Structure 1
Amino acid sequence: MLRPPPDPSQCPSSHDVPTLVLSLGLCTGLIISYLPQHIRIISAKTSEGFSPWFLLLGATSSASGMLNLLIVQWPLFRCCRILSAGRCFESLLGFYQVTLQWLLFTIILILYLIYFPKHLKYQRVLPLDSAVTAPTYGATDVPDGSSASQPVKGTIATTPEWRLAVTLACVVAIHLGLLLLLSLSLLFILPPTTPPHPFLRYLATFLGVSALILSLLQYTPQIHKTYKAKLVGALSLGTMAIQVPGSVLFVISLVMRPGTDWTSWLVYAVTGGVQGILLVICLFWKRRQKRLGIDDFGVPLVIPGTDANGEDERRPLVDGD
């Protein structure tokens, strides 16, 4: 049996033009800011340089933030039963913003798996006993039948890095599925009250705080990986250059939305700050790469006076100047 519609006095009744324009602009800006990163991975055909832990923490953090806003703005969803389609869309723009941010970041995780570098995905495994027979590569026939002259056989197996990436991607899917199921179950089972039921308040606070903690940790593995590699890799400077100042406007727009609190916007303020640190490091390494004559992946650039094979025999200096 459907519950009765909410009291019209509890639903927004006026247009907030500045907030509407800001939210629409931010949704457009989100798409524009993430496109360079998506295009960067696809065009380079590699996701080398990304930390899988960064993607895990980012995906779970953005999912927790999205579900937090779903709970705290649930009364606005109920108001859509008595509001026009346009008014309903306007009132839920804050939720659409956060959901769009989660979706665009999750696409990076998907592209990371699709374009995972092959040289980091597979490895040659040599048997302890060279006489062991298994699916092999590189074996040749020996005319005299002597096993002593046979090359060492080996099998091809996936690397620990690839297995870790797949495992963390599964964790992201399980995290989203379980929390989404729990949130929707409580929202439909518990009675709609003002203020919300204590269970919903506890869950919203848990999601908001966990999103904050995850965002605080999110950039730590990526900053460590990028700093240690001394290479930009597949990271997009364009995306970071847009998102760092854009995070300020994003936070302001959420603060101005009805039905939000500090647990809904603080996570994005923290993320913008630490992302700025990563941008500074990448700009520093970009300048260093130019000085050393290497690209973002440490491959020597073709210098005038040499052929495409790099006859100057220079090597990328990735461990130090």
Structure 2
Amino acid sequence: MSSSDTCEPHHDWFGSLLTAGLVVGLIVSYLPQHFRIISKGSSEGFSPWFLLLGATSSAAGMLNMWTLQWGIVKCCKKLSFGSCVESLGGIFQVSTQWFMFTMILVLYMIYFPPHLKYAVATIDTHDMRGIQHVKTNVKTDTWRLSITLSWVVVVHMAFITAVTFFLLTSTTPSPEGVEAHNAQIAMWATFLGVSSAVLAAIQYCPQIFHTFRLKLVGALSIPMMCIQSPGAALMVLSIALRPGTDWTSWIMFAVSGVMQATLLIMCIAWKFRQRRLHIDDFGHPLPLDADDPSAPLLVAGDAGLPVSNAMGQAMRDEVYEDEAGMQEEVSDIEIVRAMLGENTPLLKGGRRRNTAGSGGSSGSRGKGWFKAIRRASGN
């Protein structure tokens, strides 16, 4: 291929349509996750390590594509706008993926749960106030780690961007064409691609472990993963068809697709578990529906843990039996009082006149009093 043929436009309608569909699909797939964090007002459930690895992996993959297709980027000044956009489809694709994922990290920091930012001190006041929980200005380990890892993402992005464009602008392309890079650029592109794949391979490990330990979906978006998991195969195909790319350009998306599918299966399993326990994605009890036989009852005390309906019904039956027993005891007392009437001497030596005018002795009245008690007690 001569130098004059380097900037000739090459139309590939299948590749262009596939790339355009994937760019739109990436945006559509990430929007549910962005909207979920914003609407819930919480990013609880994300692992900061997952976000760090994902942001650095996508950044390295994006700059790998820029490096390998830099010659095509330079040709845009000789091509029409439409031909330029078509030729840069792969760059648009990986750049969109980097931007949309990095936005998750930004939203994670903005909507980090306030109650998890600062440590709470437990103080015993030794008075009627009892034990008090006081919020301090000391950052929690998770919040401090999130801040540190966010700065790592910023520094990493600034460093690899500076190195990439320094190499691209300070070297002269070889005359054989865009596919022939000098040794330094080729080594740097390989480093970016391999590091992106390695980071992507371990990216989902902390999130999978965090979600498994939490046993809750949290702020993770299942619709996003349902779209992206099968879409990873199309991403691999689209990038592999681009000129100037190699396995280092698409391996990151292949590894990410497999790991994300694993996380998706786990989240679906936890979704069924949450429904069974009648709790939301963050572990908070849902409003109970009296007509729903599957809804668990909440036990006051301990941690307010949900119990089964059968156990809850047994507890209610026990309470009802205790109340019934108390009512029977009260009824027995009322019967005795009714039978005794006004003729019962309540004080020793007391004298009352019989309302019927009978002149029975105090001894006979005492015997009647004991007989009434015996009849009331059933003896």
Counterpart position of 2:140 = 159
Which string of whole-angstrom CA distances, capped at 9 and with x for unpartnered residues, describes residues 89-140 of structure 1? Answer: 100010110000000000000000001011111113579xx9xxxxxxx9x9
Matching residue within 58, 64, 70 for 1:62: 58
User: Does the 8 Å CA contact 1:69/1:95 hold for their aligned counterparts?
Assistant: yes
Larger Rg: 2
How far the C-alpha of 1:153 sits from its partner, in A, is: 7.7
Matched, 1:277 2:267: no
TM-score, normalised by the number of residues in structure 2: 0.73
User: 2 CA distance for matches of 1:150 and 1:126?
Assistant: 7
User: 1 CA distance for matches of 2:217 and 2:100?
Assistant: 21
Q: What is the 5 A alignment of 1:209-220? A: 209-220=194-205
How far the C-alpha of 1:15 sits from its partner, in A, is: 1.1
Matching residue within 264, 274, 288 for 1:289: 274
Matched, 1:259 2:249: no
User: Does the 8 Å CA contact 1:125/1:157 hold for their aligned counterparts?
Assistant: no
Which string of whole-angstrom CA distances, capped at 9 and with x for unpartnered residues, describes residues 130-165 of structure 1? Answer: 9xxxxxxx9x9xxxxxxxx99898743211110100
Runs of 4+ in 1 over 6 A off after TM superposition: 149-154
Counterpart position of 1:143 = none
**What percent identity do the matched residue pairs reach?**
49
User: 2 CA distance for matches of 1:22 and 1:271?
Assistant: 19
User: 2 CA distance for matches of 1:213 and 1:292?
Assistant: 38
Query: Structure 1 residues 199, 290: CA separation in 2 closer, same or farther (over 3 Å shift)?
Result: same
- Structure 1: stretches of 5+ with no match in the other structure: 1-5, 131-137, 141-148
User: Does the 8 Å CA contact 2:61/2:94 hold for their aligned counterparts?
Assistant: yes
Counterpart position of 1:73 = 69
Counterpart position of 1:3 = none
Matched, 1:202 2:187: yes
How far the C-alpha of 1:53 sits from its partner, in A, is: 0.2
**Aligned-partner residue type, residue 201 of structure 2:** L
Matching residue within 179, 182, 192 for 2:173: 192
User: Does the 8 Å CA contact 1:54/1:219 hold for their aligned counterparts?
Assistant: yes
User: 1 CA distance for matches of 2:222 and 2:46?
Assistant: 13
Matched, 1:247 2:232: yes
User: Does the 8 Å CA contact 2:298/2:306 hold for their aligned counterparts?
Assistant: no
User: Does the 8 Å CA contact 1:71/1:183 hold for their aligned counterparts?
Assistant: yes
User: 1 CA distance for matches of 2:9 and 2:65?
Assistant: 21
User: 2 CA distance for matches of 1:88 and 1:80?
Assistant: 5
User: 1 CA distance for matches of 2:101 and 2:187?
Assistant: 26
Query: Structure 1 residues 74, 150: CA separation in 2 closer, same or farther (over 3 Å shift)?
Result: closer
**Aligned-partner residue type, residue 190 of structure 2:** T
Matching residue within 7, 12, 17 for 2:13: 17
Matched, 1:178 2:146: no
Counterpart position of 1:87 = 83
Which string of whole-angstrom CA distances, capped at 9 and with x for unpartnered residues, describes residues 211-250 of structure 1? Answer: 0100000000000000011100000000000000111111
**Aligned-partner residue type, residue 59 of structure 1:** A
Matching residue within 30, 42, 47 for 2:43: 47
TM-score, normalised by the number of residues in structure 1: 0.85
**Aligned-partner residue type, residue 115 of structure 2:** H
Instruction: Flag the structure with more relative contact order, 1 or 2, with Cα contacts below 8 A and sequence separation at least 6.
Output: 1
